[in-house]
């Protein structure tokens, strides 16, 4: 089993733009796109916490098993 980041679907579900999330979470757009496209090998817990707060969700909504 692998863990993957499912931000693209969550953003669509919540109807929130990438720009809004980047601004609220203090992330660069390039960095956020890498998370959205699963191009990271590890996830910073501080970023995960900020994303959860911004998107009003839990880590289970962002991280999925495949």
**Domains, the chain, with CATH or none:** 3-65 (1.10.260.40)
Let me know: does 44 contact 62? Beta carbons within 8 Å: no
User: What does the pLDDT look like over 8-26, one tens digit per residue?
Assistant: 999 999 999 999 999 999 9
User: Which has more confidence, 52 or 42?
Assistant: 52
pLDDT at 66 over 90: no
**What is the Cα–Cα distance from 11 to 2, expressed in whole angstroms?**
21
| Cβ pair 33, 11 in contact under 8 A | no
Place of tokens 């916490």: 49
Residue 46: other Cβ atoms inside 10 A = 9
Contact 59, 5 (CB under 8 A): no
């Amino acid at each position: 089993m692998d863990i993957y980041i499912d931000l693209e679907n969550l953003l669509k579900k919540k109807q929130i733009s990438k720009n809004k999330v980047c601004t609220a979470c203090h992330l660069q757009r390039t960095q956020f796109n890498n998370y959205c496209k699963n191009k990271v090998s590890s996830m910073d817990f501080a970023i995960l916490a900020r994303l959860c707060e911004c998107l009003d969700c839990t880590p289970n909504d962002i991280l999925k098993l495949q």
